[in-house]
Amino acid sequence: MKIKEFYPDVMRHKRQGFPEAIYAPGKTIKQIISVASKLLKGEGPVIVTRAEKSVYGKLKKKFPKAVYNESSKLVVLKKGNVPRSKGYICVVTAGTSDIPVAEESSIVADLLGARVERIYDVGVSGVHRLFKHHDKLVKAKCVIVCAGMEGALASVVGGLVGCPVIGVPTSVGYGVSFKGVSAMLTMLNSCAANVSVVNIDDGFGAGVIGSLIAKK
């Protein structure tokens, strides 16, 4: 059988304020281009997630305006024309290894109109590093916390601020980190009532939610 063309949800950005993203793993360049071409006709930014550098190279030929962020593996094919939020969100990481996930959140939230403040490498094994940023944190509309290993940072941040905190467990760690599951459990059990959680390494989802809150 010949699989007919793909029909991405071109209207999603108009309907919901955020677009369908093109998740690259497991798709051929041909499939990505086919989907992207349709999405480019809709509103909002057009984003390819988790794209290896070689994928970007091939997309660049077809879409010369494509821009690549190596850390987060995002390819941005179109920025869209999105109004900027008044308030800002913070994107926080426990360690340096969590930065790729955090960058996915930061860039996506920025593309969707949120102002973003990055606060990286402030984990709880030296918690004084976090407190330096206290004033910035308490004025944010939303804080996204990316942390692997034991993921304790989300609760500590949750106890400081009066806004929603989005926990993004990362797959950083070894042994019983279980590729992010332990960090996820930590965040889901948070004693801070303002913490909710997305899937492991789901920087995209957290960025979307952060931007929706920033723009309220």
Please list every residue from 60 through 79 that binds its own copies, using CB under 8 A.
69, 71
Neighbours of 131 (CB within 10 A): 12
Nearest approach in angstroms of CB 52 to its own copies is 15
Q: Which stretch binds its own copies (CB under 8 A): 38-46, 56-64, 76-84, 99-107?
A: 99-107
Q: Which stretch binds its own copies (CB under 8 A): 36-44, 51-59, 73-81, 88-96?
A: 88-96
Indicate the SS3 state at residue 144. Answer: strand
Give the CA radius of gyration of the chain: 18
What residues pair up with 90 in beta bridges, in sequence order?
A: 117, 143
Length of the chain: 216
CB nearer to its own copies: give 6 or 40.
6
The residue from 37, 121, 133, 139 that contacts its own copies (CB under 8 A) is 121
Q: Which stretch binds its own copies (CB under 8 A): 6-14, 51-59, 60-68, 74-82?
A: 6-14
Long-range contacts of 48-54 (CB under 8 A, 24+ apart): 48/21, 48/22, 48/24, 48/74, 48/75, 48/77, 49/21, 49/22, 49/23, 49/24, 49/73, 49/74, 49/104, 49/204, 50/23, 50/24, 50/25, 51/24, 51/75, 52/24
CB nearer to its own copies: give 65 or 174.
174
Please list every residue from 139 through 158 that binds its own copies, using CB under 8 A.
141, 149-152, 155-156, 158
CB nearer to its own copies: give 63 or 120.
120
52 is an interface residue for its own copies by CB under 8 A: no
28 is an interface residue for its own copies by CB under 8 A: no
The residue from 46, 82, 109, 183 that contacts its own copies (CB under 8 A) is 183
Distance between CA atoms of residues 90 and 99, nearest Å? 13
Q: Which stretch binds its own copies (CB under 8 A): 36-44, 52-60, 74-82, 191-199?
A: 191-199
Contact 93, 79 (CB under 8 A): no
194 is an interface residue for its own copies by CB under 8 A: yes
